[in-house]
Amino acid sequence: MAHLLLRHRDIPNLDQLDVYVKNGGFEAFKKAVTAMQPDAVTEEVKASGLRGRGGAGFPTGVKWSFIPKNITPHYVVANADESEPGTFKDREIMDFNPYQFLEGLAIASYAVQANLSFVYLRGEFYYLAKKLDACIAEMEKAGYLGDNLFGTGFSLRLRTHLGAGAYICGEETALLESIEGKRGQPRVRPPFPAVVGLYSKPTVINNVETLANLPYIVTNGAAGFRKFGTDKSPGVKIFSLSGNVNKPGNYELPLGATFRELIMGCGGGISDGRKLKGIMPAGASSSIIRVDDTNLDKVLDTTMDYENVQSVGSLLGSASVIIIDDSHSMDWVINKTVHFFKHESCGKCTPCRDGNYWMLHLVERIHEGHASAGDIQLLKTVANQVNGKCLCALGDFSTMAVTSALERFPEDFHVGQA
């Protein structure tokens, strides 16, 4: 099947404007601007059932419809921060199929009538920012950006903005702070960005992959989009597969594909012929799915969509599927995740800032074999103390692997000898 998002895998040199245009590029944007009312675009996207690919799976069209018309200007911000460990899909889109993403951003901008939109990239993506800047310049030259587009009154400009390398800046309100030149730390919500966003104006924030779907939806209509995926999770999704598999990488599959198709099919099975022990479907922020002889088939046959992953005790999130084989102990795994979150906690709120500090001390003690009997219980309690009490979701994320590992893999946690 031809790719919808990773089209560059089927069409060489798709990152060149003429190639992109020759293959139908900007037809969707032109159609939207010249033949559709902005609200009609939003309605079409609503009808398509497209859900945010940044992790939360919120319906994209519904999000757009929250933008109040009486407060202007509006902004659209593409979230290209892609910092979740195990997620590397946006990077591939921007590197090899940048125009499809930018066209999607342009369509979203038209739908909410934004005349200036941003791409916010993590600091390490400086080379992609450079690439996107060049693409944007090409689009301006070719008349896809600027004033009076396609002879209408609509004008649009795009700007890239580089962060300074912080996971928290993928959180939408911290991201907005960062664009404004402030410390990248989350804001209190409400008010939500749809009402008080960038520079206190109504703002839509969408993930890169989310936006890359839009040209297809505008061209083929909601029905065309719904040919893929499930009723509640329509469309295709890029799964970033990593860990102990033979062929790690990005794979575009319809939502509702099974773990088996991804891991055994695309990924060529577990590396070194070992046994599958755990799956983290949403990167480091996952509850770890336990896989053993008793449930192997059940897990592998679970469909990957926004509803069903819950049935095996986790969430789809950004679909960064990390495979853990039986050579690893879970205390090692959560030692890794807690290190990450302790390092990335922005420090704005107490439970995440202090909780991660202590979780790290505890997991390190456990991992190094110095834990006392109370430490394992205490780790569980601290995770509980953090979960649900924080200003933003990072705090919750930091406890997911910890709590699930302790609960589901108790045999991996030992009291020290000393």
Ligand X SMILES: Cc1cc2nc3c(=O)[nH]c(=O)nc-3n(C[C@H](O)[C@H](O)[C@H](O)COP(=O)(O)O)c2cc1C
Of the candidates 216, 215, 212, 207, which has an alpha carbon nearest to the alpha carbon of residue 77? 207
Name the residues that contact another protein, by CB under 8 A: 166, 168, 183, 188, 342-351, 353-358, 361, 374, 378, 381, 385, 388-391
96 to each of 6, 14, 200, 416, how far by Cα in Å? 8, 7, 34, 50
Residue 374 touches which of another protein, ligand X, ligand SF4, none (CB < 5 to 8 A by kind)?
A: another protein
Residue 82 touches which of ligand SF4, another protein, ligand X, none (CB < 5 to 8 A by kind)?
A: ligand X
> Closest separation between CB of residue 79 and ligand X, Å?
4
Residue 88 near residue 77, CB atoms below 8 Å: no
> Closest separation between CB of residue 312 and another protein, Å?
21
Q: Is 339 helix (H, G, I), strand (E, B) or coil?
A: helix
With vertex at residue 330, the alpha carbon angle to CA 328 and CA 334, rounded to the nearest 5 degrees, is: 120
Residue holding tokens 């009076």?
148
Taking CB under 6 A as the rule, does residue 342 contact ligand X? Answer: no
Torsion of CA 68, 72, 73, 75, to 10 degrees: -10
Residue 405 near residue 286, CB atoms below 8 Å: no
Nearer residue to another protein within complex by CB, 204 or 402:
402
Of the candidates 171, 183, 182, which has an alpha carbon nearest to the alpha carbon of residue 395? 171
Torsion of CA 44, 236, 393, 386, to 10 degrees: 140
Nearer residue to ligand SF4 within complex by CB, 38 or 347:
347
Stretch touching ligand X by CB under 6 A, among 20-28, 30-38, 55-63, 257-265: 55-63
Residue 256 touches which of ligand SF4, another protein, ligand X, none (CB < 5 to 8 A by kind)?
A: none
Q: How far apart are CA 222 and CA 220, in angstroms?
A: 7
> Closest separation between CB of residue 389 and ligand SF4, Å?
9
Taking CB under 6 A as the rule, does residue 290 contact ligand X? Answer: no
Residue 162 touches which of ligand SF4, another protein, ligand X, none (CB < 5 to 8 A by kind)?
A: none
Nearer residue to ligand X within complex by CB, 210 or 335:
210
Taking CB under 6 A as the rule, does residue 55 contact ligand X? Answer: yes
Taking CB under 6 A as the rule, does residue 82 contact ligand X? Answer: yes
Give the footprint of ligand X on this chain (CB under 6 A). Answer: 52-56, 58, 79, 81-84, 167-168, 170-172, 205-207, 210, 392-394
